[in-house]
Amino acid sequence: MAEAFGKINGSKRYQFLSAGSKPSGNVNPKAIRSMSKIGYDMTQHRSKGISELPQDGVDVMISMGCGDACPQIPAKIRSEWEIPDPKNMDEDDFKKIRDLIGRNVEKLIKHMDNNGSQN
Protein backbone atom coordinates (compact mmCIF):
# COMPACT_ATOMS: atom_id res chain seq x y z
CA MET A 1 0.00 0.00 0.00
CA ALA A 2 2.91 2.36 0.66
CA GLU A 3 4.09 1.96 -2.94
CA ALA A 4 0.55 2.67 -4.13
CA PHE A 5 0.32 5.83 -2.01
CA GLY A 6 3.70 6.89 -3.35
CA LYS A 7 2.45 6.47 -6.88
CA ILE A 8 -0.72 8.41 -6.05
CA ASN A 9 1.04 11.33 -4.36
CA GLY A 10 4.49 11.61 -5.88
CA SER A 11 4.68 9.52 -9.01
CA LYS A 12 5.92 12.32 -11.24
CA ARG A 13 8.76 13.27 -8.87
CA TYR A 14 9.89 10.02 -7.26
CA GLN A 15 10.11 6.30 -7.82
CA PHE A 16 8.48 4.26 -5.07
CA LEU A 17 9.23 0.57 -4.54
CA SER A 18 7.89 -1.79 -1.94
CA ALA A 19 9.27 -5.16 -0.90
CA GLY A 20 8.96 -7.64 1.90
CA SER A 21 11.01 -10.30 3.63
CA LYS A 22 8.61 -13.10 2.66
CA PRO A 23 6.98 -12.17 -0.66
CA SER A 24 4.25 -14.43 -1.96
CA GLY A 25 4.13 -12.93 -5.45
CA ASN A 26 0.53 -11.90 -4.83
CA VAL A 27 -0.76 -8.76 -3.17
CA ASN A 28 -3.03 -9.37 -0.20
CA PRO A 29 -6.64 -9.28 -1.47
CA LYS A 30 -7.55 -7.12 1.55
CA ALA A 31 -5.06 -4.49 0.37
CA ILE A 32 -6.51 -4.58 -3.15
CA ARG A 33 -10.06 -4.16 -1.79
CA SER A 34 -9.05 -1.48 0.70
CA MET A 35 -7.21 0.62 -1.90
CA SER A 36 -10.07 0.20 -4.40
CA LYS A 37 -12.36 1.86 -1.84
CA ILE A 38 -10.29 5.04 -2.20
CA GLY A 39 -10.17 4.76 -5.99
CA TYR A 40 -6.80 3.07 -6.56
CA ASP A 41 -6.46 -0.15 -8.57
CA MET A 42 -3.74 -2.38 -7.11
CA THR A 43 -4.51 -5.39 -9.29
CA GLN A 44 -1.35 -4.80 -11.35
CA HIS A 45 0.91 -4.66 -8.27
CA ARG A 46 2.76 -7.76 -7.13
CA SER A 47 4.45 -8.85 -3.93
CA LYS A 48 8.22 -8.40 -4.31
CA GLY A 49 11.19 -9.47 -2.23
CA ILE A 50 13.95 -7.33 -0.79
CA SER A 51 16.37 -8.77 -3.36
CA GLU A 52 14.38 -6.94 -6.07
CA LEU A 53 15.24 -3.53 -4.62
CA PRO A 54 18.24 -1.60 -6.04
CA GLN A 55 21.16 -3.21 -4.19
CA ASP A 56 23.48 -0.27 -4.89
CA GLY A 57 21.40 2.06 -2.74
CA VAL A 58 18.36 4.28 -2.53
CA ASP A 59 17.67 7.79 -1.32
CA VAL A 60 15.17 6.78 1.37
CA MET A 61 14.56 3.40 3.02
CA ILE A 62 11.43 3.05 5.12
CA SER A 63 10.88 -0.05 7.23
CA MET A 64 7.48 -0.80 8.70
CA GLY A 65 8.46 -3.31 11.33
CA CYS A 66 11.20 -5.50 9.95
CA GLY A 67 10.53 -8.54 12.02
CA ASP A 68 13.04 -11.13 10.85
CA ALA A 69 14.70 -9.37 7.91
CA CYS A 70 15.58 -5.70 7.69
CA PRO A 71 17.06 -4.79 4.34
CA GLN A 72 20.72 -3.81 4.42
CA ILE A 73 20.55 -1.74 1.27
CA PRO A 74 22.54 1.51 1.43
CA ALA A 75 20.28 4.54 1.95
CA LYS A 76 20.86 8.26 2.47
CA ILE A 77 17.91 8.36 4.89
CA ARG A 78 16.50 5.48 6.97
CA SER A 79 13.33 5.55 9.00
CA GLU A 80 11.31 2.96 10.92
CA TRP A 81 7.57 3.54 10.96
CA GLU A 82 6.69 0.60 13.27
CA ILE A 83 3.39 -0.04 11.51
CA PRO A 84 1.81 -3.40 12.31
CA ASP A 85 1.20 -5.82 9.47
CA PRO A 86 -2.55 -5.62 8.80
CA LYS A 87 -2.85 -8.91 6.89
CA ASN A 88 -4.83 -10.66 9.64
CA MET A 89 -6.84 -7.62 10.76
CA ASP A 90 -10.55 -7.12 10.22
CA GLU A 91 -11.70 -4.60 7.60
CA ASP A 92 -12.01 -1.64 10.00
CA ASP A 93 -8.54 -2.12 11.50
CA PHE A 94 -7.09 -2.76 8.03
CA LYS A 95 -8.56 0.59 6.91
CA LYS A 96 -6.91 2.35 9.87
CA ILE A 97 -3.52 0.93 8.88
CA ARG A 98 -4.13 1.88 5.22
CA ASP A 99 -4.90 5.44 6.25
CA LEU A 100 -1.87 5.59 8.58
CA ILE A 101 0.40 4.44 5.75
CA GLY A 102 -1.17 7.02 3.46
CA ARG A 103 -0.55 9.85 5.94
CA ASN A 104 3.03 8.74 6.49
CA VAL A 105 3.73 8.60 2.76
CA GLU A 106 2.28 12.10 2.32
CA LYS A 107 4.56 13.41 5.11
CA LEU A 108 7.55 11.65 3.54
CA ILE A 109 6.86 13.23 0.15
CA LYS A 110 6.55 16.70 1.72
CA HIS A 111 9.85 16.13 3.52
CA MET A 112 11.53 15.00 0.29
CA ASP A 113 10.09 17.96 -1.63
CA ASN A 114 11.40 20.38 1.02
CA ASN A 115 14.84 18.78 1.19
CA GLY A 116 15.49 18.06 -2.49
CA SER A 117 15.71 14.26 -2.09
CA GLN A 118 14.73 13.43 -5.65
CA ASN A 119 15.73 10.29 -7.51
Prediction pTM value: 0.85
Spatial separation of the C-alpha atoms in residues 55 and 53, rounded to whole Å: 6
Spatial separation of the C-alpha atoms in residues 46 and 22, rounded to whole Å: 13
Are 28 and 87 in contact, with CB atoms under 8 Å apart?
yes
Spatial separation of the C-alpha atoms in residues 90 and 4, rounded to whole Å: 21
Q: Which residue has the higher pLDDT, 119 or 94?
A: 94
**Domains in the chain: ranges and CATH:** 2-113 (3.40.50.2300)
Please compute the mean of the pLDDT values over residues 78-106 and round it to a whole number.
93
Are 46 and 26 in contact, with CB atoms under 8 Å apart?
yes
Interval 38-61: pLDDT, tens:
999 999 998 888 888 888 888 888
Interval 22-37: pLDDT, tens:
788 889 999 999 999 9
